[in-house]
Structure 1
Amino acid sequence: MNHSTHLFPAIPTQLTGQTLVSHAGLSVLTSFLNAVDFRRLCEDRFSQFVPATATHRPGNILGALALSLAAGGEQATDIDQLRAAPELFGPVASDATVSRFLGRVKEQPEAFSYGFATMTRSLRSKVWDAAGPRNPARLATATNPLIIDLDASLVHV
């Protein structure tokens, strides 16, 4: 049994003089998911969507799906790009396991939506708290709210 509290293995980085680095940016996302205890939050909110004895827990499945999207994936089966690098991403759920998980989500959309909303609030609070005095929201008020203006290209996923 694996007792690690991390969702993904720590990926060591080093400069080698080579110009090709595949999936390097994903190490930041995996470190972030580990730092905010994504595994525990997912287990708390979504354990009803997997059998109690399942090897791939909700954090593993949802974390792999998030990484897959960040890597340019367009559908759930694109997590195979993570599965091809187990030394970087650890064991990744099979397409069948992901499909069963998503099927259970589809059967209970309200439960998943509620769990996702509460998990998002918890994650947001953790990140803002971790910012400490650098937290830009600490000076926000009802009359002077914090406005986050996100400009980005729309990507069809």
Structure 2
Amino acid sequence: MERSTRRVKKPIGSYPRVRIEGGGRAVVSQAGSVLPVETVRKAGLDTGISAALTPWRKARAVHDPGRILLDVALAVVLGGDCLADVAMLRAESAVFGPVASDPTVFRLIDTLAASGEKALQAVRSARSEVRDRRSATGEDGRR
């Protein structure tokens, strides 16, 4: 029995680039998220977290576990208080691109939680590597 699934041309990874321009078009309700998204990208935290969570990526996964975790963090930054609040990102696909469904987010968090300290250490190591790399180049953000 074949399982019918929609084919996706490429896996979903980083956030799309956002341009700010005035032109009378509708305003994005989560425009305040541009700064944290660009900070994550500029620091390399998006690629660092994605690389660290590669062991938890399913073989045919569409959504990158690192991106999912960053989406959850961004939802918290924007005022969310539960995993389902990634829906506010999903509602602004022009800004955030494709965002994982609630069941996908919950499955990843369950998987990471089941891994215990191993997953937590992977995230900590990625953060530390990014911080060390930025510090070594004089871009640690301190003034």
The yes-or-no answer on 1:33 pairing with 2:40 is yes
1:95 aligned residue: 102
Write the distance in 2 (CA, Å) between the matches of 1:107 and 1:29: 29
Runs of 4+ that moved beyond 3 A: 1-4, 15-18, 129-136
Q: 1:91 to 1:132 in 2, by over 3 A?
A: closer
- Once residues 32 and 15 of structure 2 are traced to their aligned partners in structure 1, the CA distance between those partners, rounded to angstroms, is 14
Q: Cα deviations across residues 40-60 of structure 1 (Å, max 9, x unaligned)?
A: 212321122220220001122
Matched, 1:8 2:26: no
Q: Please, which of 107, 110, 113 is the counterpart of residue 106 of structure 1?
A: 113
Partner residue of 1:83? 90
Equivalent position of 2:55 in the other structure: 48
**Aligned residue identity for 1:57:** D
Residue 125 of structure 2 corresponds to residue 118 of structure 1: yes
Tell me how large the CA RMSD over aligned residues is.
Answer: 2.6
Q: Is the alpha carbon distance of 1:118 and 1:134 closer, same or farther for their aligned partners in structure 2, counting shifts above 3 Å?
A: closer
- The secondary structure found in structure 2 opposite 1:118 is helix
Q: Are the aligned partners of 1:7 and 1:38 in contact in 2 as well (CA < 8 Å)?
A: no
Q: 1:132: how far off?
A: 4.8
The two structures have a TM-score, normalised by structure 1, of 0.73
Q: Displacement of 1:102 after TM fit?
A: 0.7
CA apart distance, 1:21: 5.7
Post-superposition offset of 1:130: 4.4
Q: Larger radius of gyration, structure 1 or 2?
A: 1
Normalised by the length of structure 2, the TM-score is 0.79
Q: Which runs of 5+ in 2 are unaligned?
A: 1-8
Q: Report deviation, 1:81.
A: 0.4
- For the 8 Å contact 1:8–1:30, the answer to whether it is kept is yes
Q: How many pairs align?
A: 134
Post-superposition shift, 1:17?
A: 7.9
Quick one: higher RCO (CA 8 Å, sep 6+), 1 or 2?
A: 2
Q: CA offsets, 1:58-100, max 9 Å, x none?
A: 1220121111011100011000001011111000000000111
Identity rate of aligned residues, in percent?
25
